[in-house]
């Protein structure tokens, strides 16, 4: 362990001389530093087996983790934020921990696999980040943890967000040219989701996404639950998009599209895609202008008694939800629109019984012959 600006450390007891404020403590050996009082110093970790533990009563200044781990528990605080990355680094905030000044990271490798990611951040219990998170790597938010700012990704930084609870008071604002994944099973994002372009995987089974889902990235999405307010806009310039909706609730304002699925306005774009709707509640609280399909985008809807007439698509979806929304095809639309009407279970059962009866009758007739 190295200490700068005249500080000294007893290697066995980890006792600090706090006579000089504003220094940097560097942990570059396999060392654990536990802090349960106010430490007017920043901390830098640069060893895979180095760790900083900030517990109840503990306060440290800005923390930089090139490689190593940081745990902030109890009512521990980090003032000035945490910066991760450069090597294998991890930060976990639990209990009522507070990070003032936000959290950032350098580029992370293996971002889409929690076990292999080189940069990992966990927010749980009632932990709070009072600023924003500008991040590349694996991020999990759960319980009642809060981010009072936005979640963004660093330049050319890929990010995976697993959210089972908690709150992002701002929005998720992801940039250009990155690979991004959002697995939303609970909690709320109040400022919506947006991504400029790149590759975006979405799996939404619960939670709330206020402020809409707006992206120019190539999308592979499966929505089976949760709620999205303020509309969905997928307008990609390149790539093949696939949006499959089997459940969830979708509403928007009067002047907005409930769901817009299109390619780019630029003639050089070559985006295509498939929108599948099997279930969900569309426009029950506010349908806006309904659905818009444009460019080389295909649309398939599955249910029973589905009819498209005079610009409206009505009927029942496969999950039994009533669907009645305006459906508009743009002036550049070159895709296909397919209605898959499946018989009601009773009708299907009668059909199958009749089919079996006809088969047996033919066999009996053949045997008599």
How far apart (Å, rounded) are the C-alpha atoms in residues 347 and 229?
A: 36
pLDDT score at 361:
47
Tokens matching residue 124:
């749980």
The SS3 call for residue 167 is: strand
Q: b/e per residue, 288-315, with b = 16+ CB within 10 A?
A: bbbbbbbbbbbbebbbbebeeeeeebeb
Tokens matching residue 335:
């895709």
Q: What is the chain's length?
A: 369
How far apart (Å, rounded) are the C-alpha atoms in residues 211 and 222?
A: 19
pLDDT score at 215:
92
Instruction: Report the 10 Å Cβ neighbour count for 163.
Output: 27
CA dihedral 14, 15, 17, 18 (to 10 degrees): 90
For residue range 15-33, list pLDDT tens digits in order.
Answer: 343 434 579 999 999 999 9
Catalogue the long-range contacts made by 306-313 (C-beta closer than 8 Å, 24 or more residues apart). Answer: 306/339, 306/340, 306/341, 307/339, 308/337, 308/339
Alpha-carbon Rg for the chain, nearest whole angstrom, is 27
Q: In 3D, which of 69, 7, 2, 10 has the Cα closest to residue 29?
A: 2
Give every residue of the chain whose pLDDT is below 70, as ranges.
1-21, 264-269, 345-369
DSSP state of 359: H
By the 8 A CB rule, do 27 and 33 touch? Answer: yes
For residue range 296-342, list pLDDT tens digits in order.
Answer: 999 999 999 999 999 999 999 999 999 999 999 999 999 999 999 99
pLDDT score at 21:
53
pLDDT score at 347:
47
pLDDT score at 230:
96
Instruction: Report the 10 Å Cβ neighbour count for 217.
Output: 28
How far apart (Å, rounded) are the C-alpha atoms in residues 104 and 242?
A: 31
Mean of the per-residue pLDDT values of the chain: 88
pLDDT score at 19:
34
How far apart (Å, rounded) are the C-alpha atoms in residues 292 and 326?
A: 8
The SS3 call for residue 39 is: coil
For residue range 101-126, list pLDDT tens digits in order.
Answer: 999 998 888 888 999 999 999 999 99
How far apart (Å, rounded) are the C-alpha atoms in residues 54 and 61?
A: 11
How far apart (Å, rounded) are the C-alpha atoms in residues 257 and 232?
A: 8
């Amino acid at each position: 362990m190295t200490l700068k600006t005249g500080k000294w450390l007893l290697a066995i007891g980890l006792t600090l001389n706090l006579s000089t404020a504003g220094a940097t403590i560097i942990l570059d050996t396999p060392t654990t530093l536990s802090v349960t009082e106010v430490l007017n110093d920043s901390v830098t970790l640069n060893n895979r087996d180095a760790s900083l533990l900030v517990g109840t009563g503990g306060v440290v200044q800005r923390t930089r983790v090139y490689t190593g781990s940081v745990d902030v528990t109890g009512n521990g605080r980090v003032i000035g934020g945490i910066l991760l990355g450069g090597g294998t680094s991890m930060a976990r905030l639990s209990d009522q921990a507070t990070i003032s000044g936000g959290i950032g990271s350098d580029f992370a490798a293996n971002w889409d696999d929690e076990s292999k990611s080189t940069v990992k951040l966990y927010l749980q219990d009632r932990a709070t980040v009072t600023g924003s998170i500008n991040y590349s790597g694996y991020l999990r938010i759960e319980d009642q943890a809060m981010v009072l700012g936005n979640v963004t990704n660093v330049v050319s930084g890929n990010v995976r967000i697993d959210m089972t609870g908690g709150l992002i008071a701002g929005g998720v604002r992801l940039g250009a040219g990155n690979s991004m994944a959002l697995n939303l099973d609970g909690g709320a994002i109040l400022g919506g989701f947006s991504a400029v372009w790149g590759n975006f995987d979405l799996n939404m089974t619960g939670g709330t996404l206020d402020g809409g889902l707006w992206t120019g990235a190539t999308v592979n999405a499966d929505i089976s639950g949760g709620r999205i307010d303020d509309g969905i806009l997928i307008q990609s310039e390149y790539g093949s998009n696939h949006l499959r909706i089997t459940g969830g609730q979708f509403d928007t304002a009067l002047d907005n599209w409930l769901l817009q699925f299109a390619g780019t306005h630029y003639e050089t774009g070559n985006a295509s895609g498939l929108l599948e709707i099997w279930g969900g509640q569309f426009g029950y609280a506010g349908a806006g202008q309904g659905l818009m399909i444009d460019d080389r985008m295909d649309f398939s809807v599955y249910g029973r008694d589905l009819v498209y007439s005079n610009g409206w698509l009505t009927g029942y979806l496969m999950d039994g939800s009533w669907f009645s929304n305006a459906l508009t095809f743009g002036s550049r639309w070159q895709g296909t629109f397919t209605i898959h009407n499946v018989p009601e279970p009773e009708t299907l059962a009668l059909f199958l019984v009749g089919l079996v009866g006809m088969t047996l009758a033919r066999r009996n007739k053949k045997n008599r012959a």
